[in-house]
Amino acid sequence: MTPSTRTLASLAAAAFVAALATSPARAADQAPAAAAKSTYAKDRADCDAGRTAEDRATCLKEAGAAQDERKRNRLDNNGSMRQNAVDRCNALSGKDKADCVARIDGPMSSDQQTTTSGSVAGGGIIRETKTTTVGTPVVVVPATPAVSAPR
């Protein structure tokens, strides 16, 4: 082999090895894009079939917005729903915060009772916490109505 042929063969071998090395990286980059495209197709199919709690136009709009966020890598569905709820409660203070956390985690003391009703499909889940407090009774004496003079 001449020196130029050896150089050409070495370059070809190096290019082949580089192509093999970058193929898994390129495939890894394409995997999330393929998953995002598949999720969008499923979302659209659910909208078209009426398997969502919203009208078709709103559903398609939301599916498109979610797809755009997936492309920008800003859609995060992996967070904890409980942690999200607690973060919302942290914006409150004092008794309001304690009541909010009780709606998430259940009653914190024997004087609390938490009930849950509704459904996501029906428009939302309602959690209500009742806290019973005992105070001193207040007696209210009704005012005597004024008697008008006879005519």
What contacts 138, CB < 8 A, 6 or more positions away? none
* Bridge partner residues of 73 (DSSP): none
The model's pTM is: 0.38
In contact, 63 and 43? CB cutoff 8 Å: yes
Per-residue pLDDT of the chain (151 residues; tens, 9 = 90+): 555 555 656 655 555 655 555 555 444 455 666 776 788 899 999 999 988 888 999 999 999 998 888 888 777 666 678 888 888 999 999 888 988 888 888 877 788 888 888 887 788 888 888 888 888 888 888 888 777 767 6
Find, among 27, 49, 31, the residue nearest to 39 by Cα: 31
Buried b or exposed e, range 15-44, using 16+ CB within 10 angstroms: eeeeeeeeeeeeeeeeeeeeebeebbeebe
In contact, 82 and 90? CB cutoff 8 Å: no
In contact, 129 and 114? CB cutoff 8 Å: yes
In contact, 114 and 84? CB cutoff 8 Å: no
